[in-house]
Chain A
Amino acid sequence: MGDEIGAAPGMGPGLRSLFGAPLLLLLVLAVATVLFVVPLAAVLRLAVFAPGGGVDGFVAAMSSRSVQRALWHSFESSALAAALATVIGGGLGLLIGLGDLRGRGAMSFAILMLMTIPPHVTAIAWMQMTGPSSALLQAFGLAPSPGATNSLYGRDGVIGLLALQQVPIVYLTLRAALRVLPRDLAEAARVNGARPWRVMLRVILPLLRPALLAGFALAFVSALGNFGVPALLGIPGRYVTLPVLMWQRLASSGPSVLADLAVLASLIGGVAALAVWAQMRLTRAYGVALIGLPQQPLQMTLGRARPAIEVGLWLLLALVGVAPFLAMLATALVPTYGVPLTLDSVTLRHFHQVIHAQDVTARAFANSAGLALAAGGIVAVLAVGLGGLLRDRLAPGARCVMLLAELAYAVPGLVISIAFIIAFLKPLPGIGVSLYGTHAIILGAYLAAFLAIALKPVSVAYGALDPALQDAARVSGAGFWRRLARIDVPLVAPAAASGAVLVMLTAWNEVTLSSILWTRGTETLGTVIFNYEDGGYSTLASAMSVISVLVTLALMALLGRVGRSLPPGIIPWRG
């Protein structure tokens, strides 16, 4: 860092300052070009200009019966699931956010679990709970006979589980809105003679309308990109959504159908972009500017109903959050699928299989762990760098990259992975090696899709810093890199660390990106679990899922520790 102080006498201050923020911006822009611009441009180029692309391609795609059906299924399942999730997640958010319930932190954590457990694992767990070997159903004599079609297969199962998966998103959005809702608005209504129900209907719900709309749109976009649930429950039930159709086409024909996929990817990306745009418009149109200082959050007493509500909530959370995983654990512990779990039949054979015996599972664990660690680390570094530029004159450049990251996060994962295949299938110029089939292409897709996850806590942390801390370092003679290293990085490190763990959680659990990008040797945990379940090896899939859930819980516990000293709003279930 001597470049900032002991510069050569002939070197003007203008030239010297180029080695500070502009250099960092250049690095960040280069990374952003590789991660966002090249892949997305490649998709659009292929969709618009390749033979079979352009208007003709879209017309051809739209006139195909299977595409029409898949598009409708995608829209229908996402919209209904989002609506269900808004009702359930909104209700939970109001009850837990406003009511004087005991153990609200634990309830929040349990609801968040629904989000951190990946969709394909949730689907497997529910299939075990509703399948022939379900201890729960057996206890009531309701278990279907072995060989019967699982009742979750098909439209209703897909919508139900998609809704369950999106409940936490709506819940979080609503809780965040409740946290900033000034309590005197409700108190003013009470003082003016309104009873609690009227306060709820006339004051609180109207004020929460933007949050509910935002929650619905987020849930819709997230359900639209979901792959695990419709793939595991929809394929056997002949309810194929657009992401599943894309995956089937790639799996059956290989990369030769890329132009076709680019068209479909643009289609679903367009629908997602439309939903995000609509959400932003609606939020602004219905937005109510809240005036007033932050104060004690609103709270309502539930009175004598409290114990009943608490018991009811815990039963519900146990049913949707715990029972399916116990069922999955039971499946992982029986010798063969369908055998009832007893003290005699219990076996750890499948755990032994997936940890020791099978090469592919060991590889998948190693790959996913490595990819998650690398993605978390790199994304945290990128987020810290981007945040560091936000106060500079070059902030508009950094904001562009952040916008691209948000866009990539909103676009369904399948679009990102298809974009990466299209952009990096051809050998790289100069090296002559293709990234396809390497860990690098999966890592790249993770970075592109998950950067936004780490950016949020890090920019919150940057925003909370007193700008004078930076100014003081500047007038103390510290150049850009010294300020970054000695002032910014230590101060935002906890937020960056929790961002990194959030990304690791996501990468460890994901299947959508790698289901398209994996090849022999680069299997991830998600793809192996998915392939086992798809191939009928439910016991092995369950055993791997159990291990992955345990690791997830450990990571969440770690995050809880890291986040203890952080301001509220950084760790999703705290504050």
Chain B
Amino acid sequence: MSITLSGLARSFGTARAIDNLSADIPTGCFFTVLGPSGCGKSTLLRLIAGLDPLDAGTIALEGRRVAGAGLHLPPEARGVGVVFQSYALWPHMDVLGNVAFPLEAAGLSRATARAQAAAHLDSVALAGMAQRRPSDLSGGQRQRVALARCLASGARIVLMDEPLANLDPHLRAAMEDEMAAFHRRAGATTLFITHDQREAMALSDLVAVMRDGRFEQIATPQDVHDRPANAFVAGFIGRGTVLDVRVTAVQPGCARLHLPSAVQIESRAVDAVMGPGQVLLRPTDLRVDPDGLPARVLSGTYRGDHWETRMAVEGVMPPLLMTLPSRVPPGQTLSVRITGGWLLPGA
């Protein structure tokens, strides 16, 4: 394991920013911490980097304990790289000076450090910008300088704090590709913090969904979406509806559910238990079908290539969401069949 977190806690006053959080992050993994603002994800990054002290728990990096009872290794001794949200480029140094700084801090002479840094600058395609000041660069260029500085530090663990949040949307998509390339090239374990689930889905090997200082689920992007651990994750990721149901039959990998309106459906499930439960219905779990249930259209929202349509089914609350290729006026009734779903294991 590259990063091992066990029982981390950190409070500010009475507020618990990190609350008994544990995780193992495999070497080379692109690990994304995804959560709403204020969930403690930036605090977690600062604890791992050593920028803030722990209240309780231990942190081990590459098998070496760096923080725990009576131990707090300062950030400069932890050997992690950090890409800051504001990029934190030093305005009084030129681009090459910024990239060379970690090498200098490692003991190289200024000239040697600059020579070696040039290669890293080259790898982010900024070789021609070496003498520029950070203030003369565009947002995307600054981002790449920050990445080059991270590369130059040679860190095997890279922490990124919402590095794409300050870029405009079309640049963000381009930088996502660069991030992925950067991760492949550096091969470093990357802990990436974001509140943007699209970024998390696109980049990650593993996603940790965070709320109120703890991880609600750690899984691959697809599992987080298709097999959320609880109602919070189900509601936070993607679109869909969670319904209260009764489990009436259990088979390996699936369960038979009873909706309140006496409708019966089959859903995917793991270790289902008979009795009350909750099912997540994604829009893709609903289909227009002549044999289906009558569903009255409430509203439609255009999402670019489809219409996300909210509809009420007799006896089912709340309204269900499904995608339709074209607009259906509110008030009209369709016949809809529920073809699947995911029984929430935590319910």
Contacts and interface: CB of A to CB of B under 8 A. Distances in A.
Interface of A: 2, 4-6, 13, 17, 466, 468-469, 471-479, 482, 486-487, 490-491
A17 B149 contact: no
Contacts of A486: 90, 101, 104
Given A466-B86, A474-B50, 14 more contacts: A2-B107, A6-B107, A13-B77, A468-B84, A471-B49, A471-B75, A471-B84, A472-B82, A472-B90, A473-B90, A474-B74, A474-B76, A475-B78, A478-B105
Interface string B72-111: 0111111111101110111110000000011011110000
Nearest to A493: B92
A476 B51 contact: no
20 contacts: A13-B73, A13-B77, A17-B74, A466-B86, A468-B84, A471-B51, A471-B82, A472-B82, A472-B88, A474-B76, A475-B49, A475-B76, A475-B80, A475-B82, A476-B149, A477-B79, A477-B106, A479-B105, A486-B90, A491-B92
Contacts of B102: 476-477
A393 to B, nearest CB: 8
A305 to B, nearest CB: 44
B105 A476 contact: yes
Contact of B75 (A468, A469, A474): A474
A477 B153 contact: yes
Contacts of B90: 469, 472-473, 486-487, 491
Contacts of B88: 466, 468-469, 471-472
Contacts of A469: 88, 90
A469 B107 CA distance: 20
Contacts of B80: 475
Nearest to A489: B92
Contact of A491 (B49, B76, B91, B153): B91
Which interface residue of A468, A472, A473 has the most chain B CB atoms within 10 A?
A: A472
Contact of B76 (A466, A478, A487): A478
A2 B106 CA distance: 9
Nearest to A393: B53
A83 to B, nearest CB: 44
Interface string B181-223: 0000000000000000000000000000000000000000000
A468 B75 CA distance: 13
A137 to B, nearest CB: 56
A490 B50 CA distance: 25
Contacts of B104: 482, 486
Contacts of B92: 490-491
Contacts of A5: 105-107
B76 A468 contact: no
Contacts of A466: 86, 88
A473 B107 CA distance: 14
A472 B84 contact: yes
Nearest to B153: A476
Determine the main DSSP class of A at the interface with B: helix
Contacts of B74: 13, 17, 474
B232 to A, nearest CB: 30
A13 B71 CA distance: 9
A4 B76 contact: yes
A8 to B, nearest CB: 14
A482 B108 CA distance: 13
A472 B74 CA distance: 13
A486 B101 CA distance: 9
Contacts of A468: 84-86, 88
Contacts of B78: 475
A469 B91 CA distance: 9
Interface in B273-321: none
Nearest to A472: B88
Nearest to B49: A475
Nearest to B102: A476
Given A466-B86, A471-B84, A490-B92, A477 B51 contact: no
A13 B106 CA distance: 16
A294 to B, nearest CB: 20
The winner among A17, A466, A469, A475 for most chain B CB atoms within 10 A is A475
Of A5, A6, A471, A478, the most chain B CB neighbours within 10 A belong to A471
Nearest to B149: A476
A515 to B, nearest CB: 42
Nearest to B158: A475
Contacts of A6: 107
Contacts of A476: 76, 101-102, 105, 149, 153
**Which among A466, A469, A477, A490 has the highest number of chain B CB atoms within 10 Å?**
A477
B75 A475 contact: yes
Nearest to A473: B101
B96 to A, nearest CB: 14
Contacts of B84: 468, 471-472
B297 to A, nearest CB: 44
Contacts of A479: 76, 105
A490 B86 CA distance: 20
B86 A477 contact: no
A191 to B, nearest CB: 36
A468 B161 CA distance: 11
A60 B79 CA distance: 68
Contacts of B107: 2, 5-6
A406 to B, nearest CB: 28
Nearest to A16: B77
Interface in B19-74: 49-51, 73-74
Interface string B154-179: 00000100000000000000000000
Contacts of B77: 13, 477
A487 to B, nearest CB: 6
B105 A477 contact: yes
B168 to A, nearest CB: 21
Q: Which 8 pairs between the two chains have the least Cβ-Cβ distance?
A: A468-B88, A472-B88, A474-B75, A477-B105, A476-B102, A478-B105, A475-B82, A490-B92
Contacts of B149: 472, 476
A58 B20 CA distance: 62
Nearest to A17: B74
A13 B78 CA distance: 11
Contacts of A473: 90, 101, 105
A5 to B, nearest CB: 5
Nearest to A2: B107
A469 B84 CA distance: 9
Contacts of A478: 76, 101, 105
In this complex, the member of A2, A473, A476, A486 whose beta carbon has the largest number of chain B beta carbons within 10 angstroms is A476
B106 A474 contact: no
Contacts of A490: 92
Contacts of A482: 104-105
A471 B89 CA distance: 11
A481 to B, nearest CB: 11
A482 B73 CA distance: 18
Contacts of B105: 4-5, 473, 476-479, 482
